[in-house]
Amino acid sequence: MKIEVLELFKCNYAAINIPKGVFLLPVTLLVVVVLLPLIINFNESYSNLCAGSLETTESRNCNIFSGNWVPYSKGPYYNNESCPFIADKQNCFMHGRPDREFLKWRWKPDECELPLFDAKQFLKLVRGKSMAFVGDSIGRNQMESLLCLLNSVARPEDITARYTSKDDKYFKWWFYPGYKFIVAILWSPFLVKSSKTYLNDTSFYNAENLYVEEADKAWASHIQNFDYVIFSGGQWFFRPLTFYENDQVVGCQKCHNLTTDPLNLYGYRHAFRTAFRTVINLKGFKGMLFLVTHSPNHFENGEWNKGGGCNRTLPVNKEEKRFLQPYALEELYQTQVEEFTAAEKEAREKGLRFGLMNITDVMLMRPDGHPNKYGHNLDRNVSINDCVHWCMPGPVDTWNEFLLHMMKMERL
């Protein structure tokens, strides 16, 4: 009986015996389906890590602001029909600018490549964060460029009414709900407290009072919780100014003769010094500050109010730029850099991060990038050309390529 059972068991076992190859099949599939993608992914990640490390080392050792404008056939990121955020004064094609050659150039650093602007990457980087542009209309020019660059991926909501009850053209807040990202322009052309006579009197010839030791609350009262603060400015410091400290007059600019008096950069220097110190001493501020250096104008064949214009249609190179000498550009630039350098050292000692977006020489080579007479309807009787602001699209979009690159470097 035992023998019968044993034989039966052997027979049954033999009946269900499975070839070894059949057992290997699911194992093979497991390797192909599960392990192989992991191996490939690991290999790609390792390769990307190595490439990223090389790129990072190259980028960190490269001065991205030293270079030339080179031909670029692919054209701009957007146009005046695809982006609804272009201000009329910078919408050059809407007002009839006929040439397009100025759009076919791209900034090329001497020793590395400046990455193209990647809207998805930017929005991923700023998810849950906030960014404030503080300064004059040049800052607004850059912010509107940023809105256009992001528009291919996401469109923001205008949430200005949450912050001000005024119908104020000078302040704007935008919110990207899919990324919980806020971007704002906080208008402050002098960065410090002023008499604000320009709000009711746009005449260039009336003096403005500057209280150079007191930051303008228009921005100082808002930025504590911003993750990125971007200072720019300088275009309003050419007018007559009276400087106050402790409510006492300490100097003035163009207070005797508007035409022959030189610039007095005391107010300009102290405005940036006060702005930087305000950020450094702001309790609870843990964001990053960028200074965009002075944006050059390109009036030729006359001053801004005496028929000067900017009719060029091509950039200039490093050798040619020395023939372009915007009024007081070198002094303004050096003053900014000196104040920034001192402030950055103090900020670093306190654990704060300051970055210099050194666009002055970069943009000096772009006399072709301004609206000129195409910043307004050509049938309007306007005698002043705009050689201060920048057409959109145009070379101003490069500023946000710089911005994204610097933000990425800071995170590494």
| Opening angle at CA 364, ends 362 and 369, nearest 5 | 95
pLDDT one-digit tens code per residue, 106-148 = 999 999 999 999 999 999 999 999 999 999 999 999 999 999 9
* Residue 338 CA: distances (Å) to CA of 33, 40, 100, 166, 208: 60, 51, 38, 37, 25
pLDDT one-digit tens code per residue, 273-296 = 999 999 999 999 999 999 999 999
pLDDT number for residue 387: 96
pLDDT one-digit tens code per residue, 9-26 = 344 434 445 454 544 554
Calpha distance 172→273 (Å, rounded): 25
Beta bridge partners of 228: 131, 288
End-to-end CA separation in angstroms for the chain? 78
* Listed residue (339, 364, 366) closest to 354, CA to CA: 339
Beta bridge partners of 357: 292
* Listed residue (409, 272, 285, 292) closest to 343, CA to CA: 272
Q: Which residue has the tokens 């056939």?
A: 73
* Residue 67 CA: distances (Å) to CA of 32, 59, 107, 402: 49, 14, 7, 13
pLDDT number for residue 153: 97
Over residues 380-394, the mean pLDDT reads 87
- Amino acid identity of 198? Y
pLDDT number for residue 50: 43
Length of the chain: 412
Please tell me the pTM assigned to this model: 0.85
Q: Are strands 171-176 and 181-187 parallel, antiparallel or unpaired?
A: antiparallel
373: Cα separation from own chain's centroid: 26
Calpha distance 102→119 (Å, rounded): 23
Give all strands (DSSP E) within 77-140, no chain letters: 105-109, 130-135
pLDDT number for residue 13: 39
Tell me phi and psi for residue 162, to 5 degrees.
-70, -20
* Listed residue (224, 195, 209, 241) closest to 286, CA to CA: 224
Mean pLDDT is lowest, of 6-10, 215-219, 225-229, for 6-10
Catalytic residue annotation: 137, 386, 389
Mean pLDDT is lowest, of 27-36, 83-92, 155-164, for 27-36
Mean pLDDT is lowest, of 25-34, 239-248, 344-353, 401-410, for 25-34
249 contact partners, CB below 8 Å, separation of at least 6: 242, 243
